[in-house]
Amino acid sequence: MLGPRTWAAVCGLAGVIVVALALGEALRGRDVDWRQALQRAETARAGGDVRGAEQAWEDAYRVAMRARTPQALLDVGRAYLRLGDTARDRRTTTPRARRIFLEAFVQARERRDGDGVAGAGEAFASLGDREIADRAFDVALALATQSRDAAARDRIAALRARSDYATRTP
């Protein structure tokens, strides 16, 4: 038979578990939401519906900002560049995509996420912004070195080499 204190502790623990599970489900739902919105944007873009693609992209952007994950922001920034290509307006979309990539870089660095920082480096390299790309790759390599993750160092170095090659070829 459980005493009143033990019973209270069990109930308290059960409550914490329920809240944690609900929070985890909500976070997974957010992750799906930005990906679903990006899929809608891509579908509209591929069909030539620039306005519909912009609206779906705005939805994805809002959800990605709430989710605060570097990968969400990188995917949203890349999608925005594709939208600019479709609308033949890359000059307008590049500055906003750059700001989104910078936010992803900052978030990844704060989380000590070397792969996320390297992804931001790759995104900046795709814009031809070698200075920030190099800085991001340096930070990513430092994070991998600090964590003694040789596989991460190799992945980041390979990504940097591919990004460097891609920005230097015609």
Q: What is the pLDDT of residue 170?
A: 42
Instruction: At 43, list the tokens.
Output: 């579908």
Instruction: Calculate mean pLDDT across residues 76-86.
Output: 90
Instruction: Name the band, by pLDDT with cuts 50, 70 and 90, for residue 84.
Output: confident
Q: Please choose, from the candidates 62, 65, 56, the residue with its C-alpha nearest in 3D space to the C-alpha of residue 36.
A: 56
Under DSSP, the state recorded for 147 is T
124 phi, psi to nearest 5 deg: -65, -35
| 134 has a pLDDT exceeding 50 | yes
pLDDT classification of 161: cutoffs 50, 70, 90: confident
Cα separation, 98 vs 11, in Å, equals 49
Q: Which fold has domain 13-168?
A: 1.25.40
Q: pLDDT tens digit string along 49-76?
A: 989 989 999 999 999 989 889 999 999 9
